[in-house]
Structure 1
Amino acid sequence: MSDTTTNLLLPYILAAQAQKHVTHNETLRILDGLVHLSVLDRDLTAPPGSPADGDRCIVGSGATGDWAGWDLNVALWTDGVWLRLPPRTGWRAWVEGEGVLLVFDGSGWVGTTPEELQNMALLGLGTTADASNPFSAKLNAALWTAKTVAEGGTGDLFYTMNKEAAGDDLGLTLQTGFVTKALVGLFGSDRFRLAVSAGGSTFFDGLSVDNATGIIDQPHLPRFKGYTNYDNYVSVDTWTKIGINNTEYNDQGAFDAASNRFTAPVDGAYLFGATLLFKVNSSTAARMRGRLVLNGSDEIRGSYGEISGAHVSEATALWLQSMAVLQEGDTVELQGYFRAQDGFFAADHTSFWGAKIG
């Protein structure tokens, strides 16, 4: 008959043994060290400097000093000495410093996280999941990386999201302080949309892509087209702002028909153009000019044009086009000029347009 138990190697009290309490107390000491095993660390290779009675550690590989030769064993500090407790297959240990549960598989201590998680109703990572958010994670970084060819993978990585029907929603919600600031995805259709919001209730589409054609639309891009509904008289040798007092469209309301000028709502590159149609006053010898002007005084480079020679009333037109990089609050207006003779810029056919392009 063995002197110790099979699994925990607890010493038996033998028949006719003297001082049976010594053997009994040794058994209790081992049980106290192993039952509900919780260790301070699993990587130390030398005993800590000032252990407290009852401290336990899983000894790391390459141990030295009092732990020499104890690799992967449990070391228990009790009654002023380290006691070696060799692990058996199936022992479990909670590592206090890491908050992980280990199991001894016969050759080493391994994590207890299962290789497969199937049909789980709730999963919370660093937080508590609930019925509204059955998968919840609270962390500061996340990584998805492709399984390489050397690891038996393809080297590719796809993240797939699927909705049941075209009329359903599918997307990413981006929030600040749990207030939605942006939505990216397929909302109410299969058309890709990027929408933004200041307060989480009213949303504006910044980008929309037709999934059938690939055509991109920016429905809230600053853009306008305006025209004059009356003949603008301009005297000789005087640059005069053309009264573009009506708009066919005016996204973002950046063009003001009252002041006849466009105001940049944001910094960026803008493309502008204009059509100037001559209408005779007293002579067809008028020399018609046009230009686009920044902030009421600076001619935008490349926007100047002139037509000289005899004209036919309401038949001679001048086209202008130029790009300008503007800062928020900059204004652009259309100006006309006649030399030699005065004249009119004709109603309905004199127009001014522009759009943000970058």
Structure 2
Amino acid sequence: MARAYLNKPLTGGATLTEIGKHCATGFGRAFSHRDPFMSNNLPNLNLPIIAPSQAQKHVTHNEALRILDTVTQLAVLSDTSDTPPAVSSEGERYLVPVGGQNEWAGQDGMIASHEQGAWLFYAPRPGWRIFVIDAGLLKAFDGTGWQVVGGSLLENLTGLGIGDDTASAPFTAKLNNALWTARYATDSGTGNLTQTLNKESAANDAGFILQTDFATRAVLGLLGTDKLRMSVSADGTNFLDGLVIDNTTGITDQPNLPRFSGTTNFDNFGAADSWVKIGVNALDYNDQGRFDAGTNLFTAPVDGLYQFGGHLLFKQDASNGARLNARIVRNGTTALPGSFGRNTGGHEDGATFINTLAVARLNAGDTVELQGMFSAFSGYFQADEISFWGYKIG
């Protein structure tokens, strides 16, 4: 390595010949190609070594230090300038590109270092790495030319930690806030900001995991499916879907919304002038199991706003003169506002019905039931024509 040349006299009028007079061993400032296999030069960096009984030892010693100062921790200002700058500071280094001009002519791929008013050139060896400051690139010499390592200094890394190590993940950031912002048009950007999370197949996951003290409490994304899912967990192991959006239809579902709907497969008898709780034993759905077919009660799991509805059909007993009543009741005693209804006209067996509907704010633990009553005469609420339903709406 370290073939170094001076192609012109140094500043101050000193010539190569004059400087050479101070080099007892002939190394001096490396005015010609150096043979890396010379016995008085080291094999890798071609550093000159002091010979036994050598005079002017400091010259050889300083020459080795100069080479070390140039080629260790190697960084160049640029690798695209093919012409030496008009003004250079001591120690400035460049990587000469193809087509070097003026003092850099014929030095393609060489490391040019400005020292004592002149340009010295160093030949790289395979494996040398160099950081190009203006491009932010790391390059390596493969024996023929300089190749970019990973595209840029921060590409192709095995790990990156910001305020933390990467023991738990290849990328780790320990901080109190973060900002992602689009590059504005005024900054030569588009004004847009997008982020892509890609997975290999539909059965894989692509999403966000939200944790408390590293225990997962919620996940959002394409989790084991191509449907968008939002799920929560109390223990980090068992998850409940709060929201699922079908990617083929756009239809949104809330699989664990407190809701139920059911009918009854037997006639409910109602004595005259007595409210009776309607039995509902055939459930179409009962998310979270909040309706108990044994007690015929819906129990609110949380505080919130709920909507309920019911349908009752008259079936004649001894008389068709019975008047049909219906209501929806909270905690067994209090009718929900707007839920009471009554049939006051004449009716026919199997043709007269009454519907009821109510919206109410419930507290967790409140119960709701459907009640019916016949006025004046007893009667039956007809099997398979009774329905009761409800769900949380807010």
- The normalised TM-score by structure 2 is 0.60
Q: What RMSD, in angstroms, separates the aligned Cα atoms of the two structures?
A: 2.5
Equivalents in 1 of 2:244, 2:230: separation in Å?
6
Equivalents in 2 of 1:338, 1:189: separation in Å?
52
Which segments of structure 1 move beyond 6 Å, counting only runs of 4 or more?
87-90
1:228 aligns with 2:268: no
Alignment of 1:124-203 (within 5 A): 124-130=161-167, 133-203=169-239
Equivalents in 2 of 1:233, 1:307: separation in Å?
17
Contact 1:278–1:313 (8 Å) recurs in 2: yes
The match for 2:278 is 242
How many percent of aligned residue pairs carry the same amino acid? 52
> What letter corresponds to residue 326 of structure 1 in structure 2?
L
The match for 2:248 is 212
> What letter corresponds to residue 125 of structure 1 in structure 2?
I
Q: Which of 291, 294, 303 is the equivalent residue of 1:255? A: 291
What are the superposed Cα offsets for residues 60-91 of structure 1, whole Å, 9 maximum, x if unpaired? xxxxxxxxxxxxxxxxxxxxxxxxxxx9878x
> What letter corresponds to residue 385 of structure 2 in structure 1?
H
> What letter corresponds to residue 122 of structure 1 in structure 2?
G
Equivalents in 1 of 2:298, 2:376: separation in Å?
30
Could you say if the C-alpha distance between residues 147 and 89 of structure 1 is closer, same or farther in structure 2, counting changes exceeding 3 Å? farther
Contact 1:285–1:309 (8 Å) recurs in 2: no
Aligned with 1:353: secondary structure?
Answer: strand
Aligned with 2:280: secondary structure?
Answer: coil
User: Which segments of 5 or more consecutive residues in structure 2 lack a partner in the other structure?
Assistant: 1-88, 93-132, 138-151
Equivalents in 1 of 2:354, 2:136: separation in Å?
76
Equivalents in 1 of 2:171, 2:136: separation in Å?
17
What are the superposed Cα offsets for residues 135-187 of structure 1, whole Å, 9 maximum, x if unpaired? 11111111111212221212221122112222221011111122111110001
The match for 2:157 is 120
- The normalised TM-score by structure 1 is 0.66
- Post-superposition offset of 1:210: 0.5
Equivalents in 1 of 2:135, 2:328: separation in Å?
69
Aligned residues: 254
Equivalents in 1 of 2:266, 2:222: separation in Å?
46
- Post-superposition offset of 1:125: 0.9
Q: Which of 279, 289, 293 is the equivalent residue of 2:329? A: 293
Equivalents in 2 of 1:113, 1:289: separation in Å?
83
- Post-superposition offset of 1:208: 0.3
For the pair shown, the structure with the greater C-alpha radius of gyration is 2
Contact 1:280–1:343 (8 Å) recurs in 2: yes
The match for 2:120 is none
Equivalents in 1 of 2:348, 2:90: separation in Å?
106
Equivalents in 2 of 1:311, 1:276: separation in Å?
13
What are the superposed Cα offsets for residues 207-254 of structure 1, whole Å, 9 maximum, x if unpaired? 000111110011111111122232221122222211223322211111
Aligned with 1:274: secondary structure?
Answer: strand
Q: Which of 348, 352, 356 is the equivalent residue of 1:312? A: 348
